[in-house]
Chains A and B, each alone.
Chain A
Amino acid sequence: MPLTMTTKRRLVTAALLAPASAWLFVFLVLPFIAMVVFSVGERGPAGGYQAAFTFAQYANLPARSAAYWNTLMLAPAGAFLCLLVAYPTAYYLAVKASPRHRLLLVSLVVVPFWTSLLVRTYAWMYILGSRGIPNLLDMIGIADVRLLNTPGAVLLGIVYGYLPLMIMPIYVSLEKLDRRLLEASADLGAKPLSTFFSVTLPLSLPGVMTGVALVTILLLGEYLIPQLLGGGKVFFIGNALVDLFLQSRNWPFGSAIAVTLVAIVVVVLMVAMRIAWRISGTRQVDLV
């Protein structure tokens, strides 16, 4: 029996998507289902999981409100700070830098990724720690400055670590911006600043939205930076999860926290996409 065109097309689609689907099912969907099941269970006598059906874990969420508070404040704040630093940089790279140097400069943005974030964050620990900048300040008479283990240190680490992820999508959206639109704007009497706010900025918003969504979502699950630069004083949900699963072995409570975090990420993502759609006027997914 010869296959019809639509059947064939469906088979091709299925074949193309099968590996990724299988991967996601085994390593994302199944673990997530397990987490949901755990989250309505109880902690076993020696830790771990014991079957039950109770929302007690969810009712207990306020016990970790500090972790939520830190994450939900510092992740968007970090993403916003990244944006403030990244946009001018990306603008320079895409618009002002001479084409001859552009490739080199753009590669430099990615160079930090050649070294592990762990190593680089450790370096910041020393720079901000008592033998680093506070020590130097002490030598010129400014004593007892504490930089490490503060929200500021965590924010600094976030901007440092996530800047390239913010620069790249903005750079791409600015780079593919049609220069003739800027000329058209000037031709119609718009001064440079007006051209920026009427043409450049709105047309680079898809890149901005992508960068902000990317960095925010990754930050919501951040563990390393608060661990090293927040030093147990400024901790994120990620740190709470490690604590619950590995230290106190309270799997159901950890699961409830994780499920809630996933729910928050989904809501954030949906809101971000709605906003992006409204601004760009299309439903085109423009993740660069």
Chain B
Amino acid sequence: MTSAPTNDIEFRSVTKRYGAVTAVSDINLSVPKGAFVALLGPSGCGKTTCLRMIGGFEQPSEGEVLIAGKVANGVPAYRRPVNMVFQHYALFPHFDVERNVAYGLRQLRPKLPAAEIARRVGEALEMVRLTGFAGRRIHEMSGGQQQRVALARALVNKPSVLLLDEPLAALDKKLRTAMQIELQTLQRDLGITFVLVTHDQEEALSMSDLVCVMSAGRIRQLATPQEVYDRPADLFVADFVGKTNRFAGTLEAGGTVRLGNGAALPAARADLAPGAVTVALRPEAIRLSRGTAGATTLEGTVTHRIFLGSAAEYSVAVDGLGDLLVTAERHSQSQNDLVAPGERVAISFDPGQTHIFPA
């Protein structure tokens, strides 16, 4: 059952155990050629282990890892057509920038001519906008510059897959945003498959074509960023990606969800058996209006307001339900746009925007 390698990376029932601990459990994953995939999850979810199995630093306990259609189990890291940007970069402190970037090229046999190495190192440095830094020592470079050196050192080898292990974690917010755009542009220009490991959902959503949400060694959802956000596969994904309000309820026969305070919602899913469920709702799907409810049955009191400039975040104590987080865009600059703590509000939302999961 072999096909043309349209997948650069493939995991077939991969399990990785360390002694009694199972880090990765029966994972199946296909990364299409030229895709930008983010492995997203909390620390300890197995995402880094997956990356290290692609890089060749760990071997799966069970199952197969395929790179460009070939089984890579047992192939040492130095024979794999992938390169990695390490967390904290792992640049060689005893070499200058040029020697760091040239490192991979110098390993090639037959040897590349020195002029060819110099030309390609120059190109790589230009690509990450570090021309003129070739003679610098690593400890003379800022964090952002070191990040670029690490990128150039990996990309100079023209790998078929680039692995990025929390590459932006050590950078400040502004630099991180700039690097996100830069990485995305690089990936599109080069057409190389990028596999990014991150615990930062914003980073995963903003950069990648595919997000693979992981927890406890398993894949919870593999989908486009929009899909993951709008249609989370389970409660974990809904909670981990973006902010979510959750309330307990009971799904009744006939497709109504009865909430704790007696309010009824039409169920957005028909495939669930009646019983206890959890309803999830994004803060921005909720509208607040002053005064008491008309058609809606939820009312509450604003307890907190966080002003964000273009929007405001409210904490609303909903009668009989508990606290609800609401994000409201501002449409004008009038003071009237903002609800003050202490005000009574009616809460409305489109039931189609709720997500219902078995409790």
Contacts and interface: CB of A to CB of B under 8 A. Distances in A.
Interface of A: 178, 180-181, 183-192, 194, 198-199, 202-203, 279-281
9 contacts: A180-B86, A184-B84, A186-B76, A187-B83, A188-B154, A189-B78, A191-B107, A199-B92, A280-B94
Given A189-B157, A190-B103, A199-B92, A184 B108 contact: no
Contacts of B157: 188-189
A262 B56 CA distance: 53
Interface of A is mostly: helix
Contacts of A188: 78, 83, 103-104, 107, 153-154, 157
B77 A183 contact: yes
B89 to A, nearest CB: 8
Given A189-B157, A190-B78, A183 B90 contact: yes
Contact of B92 (A184, A187, A189, A280): A184
The 7 closest A-B pairs by CB, nearest first: A188-B104, A189-B107, A180-B90, A186-B77, A184-B90, A186-B78, A187-B84
Contact of A203 (B77, B78, B94, B107): B94
A199 B103 CA distance: 11
B57 A183 contact: yes
Contacts of B84: 183-184, 187
Contact of B104 (A178, A189, A280): A189
Given A180-B86, A184-B86, A185-B103, A191 B92 contact: no
Contacts of B60: none
Contacts of A183: 55, 57, 77, 84, 86, 90
Contacts, number: 66
Interface residues of B, number: 26
Interface in B189-209: none
A109 to B, nearest CB: 27
A70 to B, nearest CB: 37
Interface string B86-114: 11101111100000000110011000000
Interface in B42-91: 55-57, 76-79, 82-84, 86-88, 90-91
Given A180-B86, A180-B90, A187 B107 contact: no
A185 B91 CA distance: 9
Contacts of A198: 103
Most buried by B among A183, A191, A192: A183
B33 interface: no
B92 A181 contact: yes
B176 interface: no
B207 to A, nearest CB: 22
A280 B108 CA distance: 26
